[in-house]
Structure 1
Amino acid sequence: MLVGVGVDLLHLARLRSLCTRRTPDKLARRILAEVELDDYSTLEGDRVQQERFLALRWAAKEAAYKALYPACSPTWKDLAVSKPPGSAKPLLAWASDAHPALLDVHSRSFKMHLSVSHDADQLVAFVVVERD
């Protein structure tokens, strides 16, 4: 059963502006789950890769929130985006350190599908959420 659909379009200039005001590391600590922070830390010193990493997660989580609401209202850190080795696309899942109440109620019943695309200074994320 379909729970919801969400889409987010991110203009990378907006993310750059946030990073200028807060620094990329502060923004990362605000929006990334622990597992994502671990991956982010490997990009130290590469501003372009840090920007892409944050942009993808920002847009994916915004789209996921739109797809999940009102059935559930996750925070930034309740969701995690990963790209397993050999995988052609990123995966969206509940973070292992997500709020326990969310994990108890939703982690097994919701399946999230993520698709992202980017061109020049635009990134779009599309999320479909199904209930088993």
Structure 2
Amino acid sequence: MIQRVLGIGTDIVFTPRISHLLQRFPPNGSGFKRLTTKFMHQHELEELQLLLYQKKDPTTYLAGVWATKECVWKAMTSFVDPKLMPPAISVYTRLCYKTKGPRGSPFLVFDSNFPQTTPLHSLFYNEVIYKRKIKALLSISHDKDYLVAFMTMLEDIN
């Protein structure tokens, strides 16, 4: 299989900033829901709820999701026609989600329901994601106060 690099994206998050947001908008409050639904896909929101139910600190998870979405946006805007590009909130909350691959590494999934959930941008999905068989390689690393994510968008050209 031959693949071509279409775009790259990177983002760095200062995790104490996320901790501060969690203090301002605690997970049991309405502000928290307003905050997270601005950048998280339904799959990520479900994973977040599981972390909260298990009483685990969601800081690194939230930082990882945010950095991933920023990487997606940066990588896509380097090769997608701006007239075709959906608004950032649609890309963040409906187009894709961060999950774990079979070995626990971060993995990006493009949601095949995007054309149904965002019909105004179904042409974007069909022409850019589906027909071109776009794939994303994602790497996330964190240490102490920082989390960094890097993404490469690839196209199959067989």
Q: TM-score, normalised by structure 2?
A: 0.71
Deviation at 1:31, TM superposition (A): 1.5
Q: Structure 2 CA distance, aligned partners of 1:32 and 1:96?
A: 16
1:89 to 99, 105, 130: 105
- Residue 79 (1) aligns with residue 106 (2): no
Q: Structure 1 CA distance, aligned partners of 2:21 and 2:45?
A: 18
CA-based RMSD: 2.1
Q: Structure 2 CA distance, aligned partners of 1:7 and 1:66?
A: 7
SS across alignment from 1:42: helix
Q: Structure 2 CA distance, aligned partners of 1:62 and 1:104?
A: 22
Q: Which residue of 1 aligns with 2:47?
A: 39
Q: Structure 2 CA distance, aligned partners of 1:93 and 1:105?
A: 17
SS across alignment from 1:41: helix
Q: Structure 2 CA distance, aligned partners of 1:76 and 1:107?
A: 15
Q: TM-score, normalised by structure 1?
A: 0.84
Deviation at 1:97, TM superposition (A): 4.4
Q: Alignment length, in residue pairs?
A: 130
1:11 to 14, 22, 29: 14
CA contact (8 A) 1:90 1:115 kept: yes
Q: Which residue of 1 aligns with 2:144?
A: 120
Listed one character per residue, the Cα deviations across residues 68-103 of structure 1 (whole Å, up to 9, x for unaligned) are 10414552112200014x424111122344334243
Deviation at 1:19, TM superposition (A): 2.6
**5+ residue gaps, structure 1:** none
Q: Structure 2 CA distance, aligned partners of 1:42 and 1:5?
A: 31
SS across alignment from 2:37: helix
SS across alignment from 1:30: coil
Identity, in percent, stands at 28
Q: Structure 1 CA distance, aligned partners of 2:112 and 2:41?
A: 8
